Structure 1
């Protein structure tokens, strides 16, 4: 689903270097917040691994069915900060095709459609993200592996249907 708050995956003018790698993170979390599957897919390799608190999902079909189904079922905002990028340069080429990044993310979750109602329960979390990315043939940087580790949570786990790391086990 396209949202009026989602820009195209490929921006103009095209980004390069660190900025283009960080944009993969921004596309990913903006997709979370706008329920935009296509934008999410632009940030992930088809066979990528999405790991949240020890729960691993491999490939876009599983990520859509499990991870995005949960994230898209609630109203969220994700604020990304402290992003660091490490570019890997191949020995025989000056062109960069692999990178890693780390970030700190603060996320707020509400029952879908209830966030603007007074006195609603919510779940807020602070997490560390670590990603390994490659530049795909379409020129976009995409996650091969995105690891999310929640450091703290505050609020009502029932907002997301229980402890995410224990769901589906």
Structure 2
């Protein structure tokens, strides 16, 4: 299923929120186009100390690992500080549930649940008018379950 990238009729705050949702939806669906629409070309993700730089590397590493799992990433309690017409800062709590591919609906499957905060510097792209993450810091507060569910562990 292809998801629309540009939703019409959004206020500035809704469009910023949508950028966060586009990115987390891309994690859950492995949708590279959606991920690219939510991050700048030179974006950086700091995943609790592991830094991934550049949209291509983010796509390869994140969608190449988490994008192949059965996941649900939920962002909530978004606080948006609109700094200017083209810059904003977002803080949000998150939960991310991870199952090995094809095991998400198995009640006996091993899983890995993570909770924490996202801290996101956003900019509005002049080319397409979409808000995108420039720097996304993931701060893990807690986790439970089997960490070996995560690829490369």
1:8 aligns with 2:4: yes
Equivalences for residues 33-48 of structure 1 within 5 A: 33-48=28-43
- Greater Rg, structure 1 or structure 2? 1
Partner of 1:64: 59
1:133 aligns with 2:122: yes
Could you say what secondary structure the match of 1:26 adopts?
helix
Partner of 1:167: none
Q: Distance in 1 between matches of 2:92 and 2:70?
A: 22
Give the TM-score normalised by structure 1: 0.86
Aligned length: 152
Give the TM-score normalised by structure 2: 0.94
Partner of 1:100: 89
Partner of 1:114: 103
Q: Structure 1 runs of 4+ off > 4 angstroms?
A: none
Partner of 1:93: none
Gaps of 5+ in 2: none
Q: Distance in 1 between matches of 2:36 and 2:116?
A: 21
Q: Distance in 1 between matches of 2:125 and 2:17?
A: 15
Q: Distance in 2 between matches of 1:100 and 1:134?
A: 9
Q: Distance in 1 between matches of 2:63 and 2:100?
A: 15
Q: CA RMSD in A?
A: 1.3
